Chain A
Amino acid sequence: MSDRVTVAKTYKLYLGGAFPRSESGRTYPVTDARGKFLANAAQASRKDLREAVGAARKGFGKWSGATAYNRGQVLYRVAEVLEGRREQFAAEVAASEGVPQKRAQSLVDTAIDRWVWYAGWTDKIATVLGAANPVAGPYFSFSVPEPTGVVGVLAPQRSSLLGLVSVLAPALAAGCAAVVVTSQNRPLPAITLSEVLATSDVPAGVVNLLTGHTAELAPWLATHADVNALDLTGAPPELRTDLERAAAGTVKRVLRTPAEEPDWTARPDIARLRAVLETKTVWHPMGA
């Protein structure tokens, strides 16, 4: 039997629930940790990013308007589909990050558990962060957390799946829509995640994943007036100050993180949920 010629893939962006090519027509090669060719990925341009923000704004209404319970169910469904693709994710994580197969498998399992952990928070976060406020007057005053809107995420550069899930899942659990710039050199698990999201029940536009050069896209994400929060986790260290300054121009919430990536396997907390939630306080008059 003759040797089969492998089908080299050229992946596309995930934008508004569809998989378009970059409007610029550009692609770039993705290699494994040893430099061997894996696939071609689309290299998003600033116009793709603008389209992604537009799509996220459309998706936000539907996602934030859904009940917390429903959001939780949809996110559990995503975890189910993730589980079904364990082997593929493990192979991609092993190739991208250059870790042994066993370690990769463990990272994928942790990522799925992380997704489920955040899915559980959707209908509990309001109880934890909300409050009935004691006020000196005839009012019933209470505070509830509400999603801030469109979140721009610069995904971690090193941890291609667990890191990505750890920054994306909290934004979704909070009810926000996300525009994610994936790890520049290790985008394959993110691309597979987009295929998972497209075949789960996540409404179109709620998650948009752009592969490409982080340094090229980050300034446009930081300055975009219709982005409400910016997660700097995967930002190049030399750009961080400039990005924060740019984000201040339209009063975005900026999640500052250490330049060195944290240990993503560590037990998570609700800090990332809190970062993309606004507090709404209502004063309701009461009779004496």
Chain B
Amino acid sequence: MKTSTREFADVTRDETSLRRFLHGLPGVDAVGVEQRSAGLGTRSIKKASKMHAIDLAISMVDLTTLEGADTPGKVRSLCAKARRPDPDRPEVPKVAAVCVYPDMVETAVAEVSGTGVGVASVATAFPSGRSSLRIKIADTEFAVEAGATEIDMVIDRGAFLSGQYGRVFDEIRTIKAACGNARLKVILETGELATYDNVRRASWLALLAGGDFIKTSTGKVSPAATLPVTHVMLQAVHDWHAATGEPRGVKPAGGIRTTKDAIRYLVAVNEVAGPRWLDPRLFRFGASSLLNDLLMQRRTQLEGHYSGPDYVTVD
């Protein structure tokens, strides 16, 4: 194992010190974090602030399609939506990225290149992560060669849960190396990690190993992203920044469907990590149906009446 940063050189020296560090992290007060996230969720964001929050949330969306039934045509229409989310209103910001399977990257890149919209690809035997390292590397390289600017990898939850932290750490480092210039998002799949303490450990493990983003879920497991889990992850990137000066991002994914949910997350980002994280480079939403709800709410703000799904594109 090599060092990720100077500050934590001794932590990542070998598996024993890594384990000692992760198990030495303070335990998460489950009741406290749930109460705090519920409390922040009651903040009322209205009028101009709401409008700003909606536009910010749109610019943070990783517009996602990860279905077995994805076709090039579907990916192309998704890209068209990513470039111009609301065709009636060109002032609506572009989304941050589209998120597709590796074989669809080429199609997506052709559609969004030069527009500022990134192409994220899931890799490493998504969503289960159950394959050999060799195949996971090949999966990543395939996506990067096709032009993906961001890679969403899954960690080996089986290895993590059985305490093989060094193995997970090495795997993330190896994939990071295979990413080249592409940014790496590490999916922890918090729905399978069972406890907040595990989420905190997995977050730190991913940050130590060099993940640019930590992401909650694949969207294929329930529960997916929840506010308390995102709180714990935001605390981790905040503490990482305090210790090393490096800003790292967080991406909740799965189950965020309404504008109200999205605004609750933004409040949490501001309060837990800090205003600096209210930026698409440091916070993303992995979502598909969220964008339509954001667009409908945006129209409601501007037109003074409620909009409906007949007035936004179906995807």
Chain A CB within 8 A of B8 CB? no
Chain B CB within 8 A of A50 CB? yes
Q: How far is the CB of B294 from chain A (nearest CB, A)?
A: 15
Q: Which of A71-79, A164-172, A202-210, A219-227 contacts B (4 or more CB under 8 A)?
A: A219-227
Q: Are A223 and B306 in contact (CB under 8 A)?
A: yes
Within 169-226 of A, Cβ neighbours of B (below 8 Å) are at 220, 223-226
Q: Which of B103-111, B123-131, B144-152, B307-315 contacts A (4 or more CB under 8 A)?
A: B307-315
Residues of A near B304 (CB, < 8 A) are 223
Chain B CB within 8 A of A20 CB? no
Chain B CB within 8 A of A249 CB? yes
Q: Are B306 and A220 in contact (CB under 8 A)?
A: yes
The closest CB in chain B to the CB of A225 belongs to B308
Chain B CB within 8 A of A12 CB? no
Q: Are B306 and A50 in contact (CB under 8 A)?
A: yes
Chain B CB within 8 A of A114 CB? no
Q: Are A226 and B305 in contact (CB under 8 A)?
A: no
The closest CB in chain A to the CB of B258 belongs to A54
Q: How far is the CB of A48 from chain B (nearest CB, A)?
A: 12
Q: How far is the CB of B307 from chain A (nearest CB, A)?
A: 5
Q: Are A57 and B309 in contact (CB under 8 A)?
A: yes
Within 39-67 of A, Cβ neighbours of B (below 8 Å) are at 50, 53, 57
Residues of A near B311 (CB, < 8 A) are 225
Contact with B along A218-251 (1 / 0, CB 8 A): 0010011111000000000000000000100110
Residues of B near A250 (CB, < 8 A) are 308
Contact with B along A244-281 (1 / 0, CB 8 A): 00100110000000000000000000000000000000
Residues of B near A50 (CB, < 8 A) are 306
Q: B304, B306, B307, B311 — which one has the most chain A CB atoms within 10 A of its CB?
A: B306
Residues of B near A57 (CB, < 8 A) are 308-309
Within 19-42 of A, Cβ neighbours of B (below 8 Å) are at none
Give Cα A246 to B309, complex, Å: 19
Q: Are B307 and A220 in contact (CB under 8 A)?
A: no
Give Cα A249 to B303, complex, Å: 11
Q: How far is the CB of B269 from chain A (nearest CB, A)?
A: 24
- A-side interface size class: 10 to 19
Residues of B near A223 (CB, < 8 A) are 304-306
Q: Are B310 and A220 in contact (CB under 8 A)?
A: no
Q: How far is the CB of B43 from chain A (nearest CB, A)?
A: 15
Within 273-315 of B, Cβ neighbours of A (below 8 Å) are at 304-311
Q: Are A249 and B305 in contact (CB under 8 A)?
A: yes
Residues of A near B310 (CB, < 8 A) are 225-226
The closest CB in chain B to the CB of A227 belongs to B308
Residues of B near A226 (CB, < 8 A) are 306-310
Q: How far is the CB of B76 from chain A (nearest CB, A)?
A: 27
Give Cα A227 to B306, complex, Å: 10
Residues of B near A53 (CB, < 8 A) are 306, 308
Give Cα A256 to B283, complex, Å: 50
Give Cα A132 to B311, complex, Å: 33
Q: How far is the CB of A99 from chain B (nearest CB, A)?
A: 38
Q: How far is the CB of B225 from chain A (nearest CB, A)?
A: 21
Residues of B near A224 (CB, < 8 A) are 305-306, 308
The closest CB in chain A to the CB of B293 belongs to A54
Give Cα A249 to B305, complex, Å: 10
Give Cα A250 to B303, complex, Å: 12
Q: How far is the CB of B44 from chain A (nearest CB, A)?
A: 12
Give Cα A223 to B304, complex, Å: 9
Give Cα A281 to B305, complex, Å: 32
Give Cα A246 to B306, complex, Å: 12
Within 98-123 of A, Cβ neighbours of B (below 8 Å) are at none
Give Cα A250 to B307, complex, Å: 9
Give Cα A57 to B306, complex, Å: 14
Q: How far is the CB of A242 from chain B (nearest CB, A)?
A: 13
Give Cα A226 to B306, complex, Å: 8
Residues of A near B305 (CB, < 8 A) are 220, 223-225, 246, 249
Give Cα A250 to B308, complex, Å: 10
Residues of B near A246 (CB, < 8 A) are 305
Residues of A near B307 (CB, < 8 A) are 225-226
Give Cα A87 to B197, complex, Å: 58
The closest CB in chain A to the CB of B307 belongs to A225
Give Cα A77 to B307, complex, Å: 35
Give Cα A269 to B190, complex, Å: 58
Residues of A near B309 (CB, < 8 A) are 57, 226
Give Cα A223 to B308, complex, Å: 11
The closest CB in chain A to the CB of B309 belongs to A226
The closest CB in chain B to the CB of A219 belongs to B305
Q: How far is the CB of B194 from chain A (nearest CB, A)?
A: 30
Give Cα A226 to B308, complex, Å: 4
Give Cα A57 to B309, complex, Å: 10
Given A57-B308, A225-B305, 7 more contacts at CB 8 Å?
A53-B306, A223-B304, A225-B308, A225-B310, A226-B309, A227-B308, A250-B308
In the assembled complex, 10 residue pairs joining A and B whose CB atoms fall closer than 8 Å, in A order, are A57-B308, A220-B305, A223-B305, A225-B306, A225-B311, A226-B307, A226-B309, A226-B310, A227-B308, A250-B308
Which chain B residues have a beta carbon within 8 Å of chain A's beta carbons? 304-311
Q: Give me the 5 closest cross-chain CB pairs, A-B, nearest first.
A: A226-B308, A223-B305, A225-B308, A224-B306, A225-B307
